[in-house]
Amino acid sequence: MKYVLTGVMLAAMAFTSCRKEKENVIPAPLTGNLAVNVDYHVDGKQLYFDSLIYTNAAGNQYSVTKVHYYLSRFRLYKEGSVKYASDTIIYVDAEKAMNFSFRNVPAMTYDSMSFHIGLDEAQNKSNSLPATAENVNMGWPDVMGGGYHFLKLEGHWLDSSKKLGYAMHIGNNGFLVRAGAKANIEVNGGKTANCKLMMNINEWFAHPNTYNLAADGVYSMGNAPLMKKLSENGGDVFGLE
C-alpha cells in the first residue's frame, strides 16, 4: 500500500511538473525591432567629405561638403501592402554616424521600404518641429514659403579649371522626395533586425533627370524647376542592405 501511495504521489508530481513546463512555454513575440544605419557612397566609392574626386552622370567633377536632410513617414511593405508604419521624423547630418530604430515591428519578412526625404505638408510649417539647433538651421524662411529645408546638399565642382560651389537645396510643399528601396528584411519576434540605408550621392544628379551643374545651375533654392528635378532624382538615392 505504502509503495502504491508513493507511486501515485510520484506520478502526480511528474504530471504536475510536466504541466508546469508546458505552461511555462512562452510563445514567440509577435514583434521585434528594426535597427537602421545610414551610410553613403558615390557609385560604390566611399564618401570623403570635401574631396574633389567624384564625377556625376553629366561629367561634372565635384566634392561634397554638407548633406543635411530629414527622413520621415517610414513604411514597410510585404507583397504590396503596408505592414508597418512610423511617422517618426529623423534629422540626418551625413558627417555624423546615424543609427535609429523602430520598435514593435510585426515579425515577418518585408520586401520593401518607403519613406520621405523631407516633411509632409502638415509637418512642413515654420516652428512645427522642436526648436533644436539643427531644426532651426534647417528652417526655410517664411518669406520663401516657410517650413524647413528637406535637403541641403553642398560642395564644390570644377567648371573647366575653376573651382566653384553648388548648393542643392530642396524645400516647400510639392517638392517632397518620395523615396524607397527594395528590401529583404526579416524581423523575428523578440529580436532586433538590422538594415543599412545607403545613399548614393550621384543619384541626386541622375535618374530620371541628368543634372548638369554647368548647364542647369548650381543653386536650387527658390528655383522650382531645379527643385523638381532634384526631387524626382531623389526617389532612388537610397538602396537598402
Partner 1 sequence: MRTSRKILHGLAVVATCIVLAVSCKKESTPPTVTPQDTTYKLTPYEIVMPAHFPEMYIPEDNKPYVERIELGRMLYYDNILSNDGRACASCHFQSHGFTIPGMVNDMPVLSHVNLAWHGKFMWDGSKSGTLEDVMLFETQEFFATNLEKINSSEKYRKLFKQYFGVDYITHHEIAYALAQFTRTMISKDSKYDRYMKGAERLTYNEEMGMRIFFSEKGDCFHCHTAMITTDGQMHNTGLDSVYTKEMDKGYYNVTKNTSDLGKFRTPNLRNVALRKFYMHDGRFTTLEEVVEFYNSGVNRVSNIDPIMTKEGKENGLNLNAVEKQQLVAFLKTLTDETFITDTSFSKPSF
- Whichever of 84 and 205 has its CB closer to partner 1, that residue is 205
The one-letter amino acid at 140:
W
Among 167, 198, 206, 240, binds partner 1 (CB under 8 A): 167
Is 228 near partner 1 (CB under 8 A)? no
Among 16, 99, 127, 184, binds partner 1 (CB under 8 A): 127
Among 43, 142, 186, 241, binds partner 1 (CB under 8 A): 142
Is 221 near partner 1 (CB under 8 A)? yes
The one-letter amino acid at 9:
M
CB contact at 8 A, 60 and 214: yes
Q: In 90-215, where do the E strands start and end?
A: 90-93, 98-106, 108-117, 149-159, 162-171, 177-187, 192-200
- Whichever of 51 and 112 has its CB closer to partner 1, that residue is 51
Is 154 near partner 1 (CB under 8 A)? yes
The residues pairing with 42 across neighbouring beta strands, listed in sequence order, are: 45
Q: What are phi and psi of 120, to 5 degrees?
A: -60, 160
Residue 61 to residue 132: CA distance in whole angstroms: 34
Among the candidate windows 69-77, 137-145, 183-191, 197-205, which touches partner 1 by CB under 8 A? 137-145
Q: Tell me how far, at minimum, the Cβ of 151 lies from partner 1, in Å.
A: 14
Q: Tell me how far, at minimum, the Cβ of 22 lies from partner 1, in Å.
A: 43
Give how far the C-alpha of residue 77 lies from the chain's centroid of Cα atoms, to the nearest Å: 15
> Judging by DSSP bridges, how do beta strands 66-78 and 90-93 pair with one another?
antiparallel
Residue 106 to residue 127: CA distance in whole angstroms: 33
Is 104 near partner 1 (CB under 8 A)? no
CA-based nearest residue to 75, from 108, 114, 120: 114
Cell of 26: 512562452
Site size for partner 1 (CB under 8 A) = 30
Among 16, 137, 184, 194, binds partner 1 (CB under 8 A): 137
- Whichever of 75 and 156 has its CB closer to partner 1, that residue is 156
> Residues for the chain: how many in total?
241
Interface residues toward partner 1, by CB under 8 A? 50, 65-66, 127, 130-133, 135-137, 139, 141-144, 154-156, 162-167, 217-219, 221-222
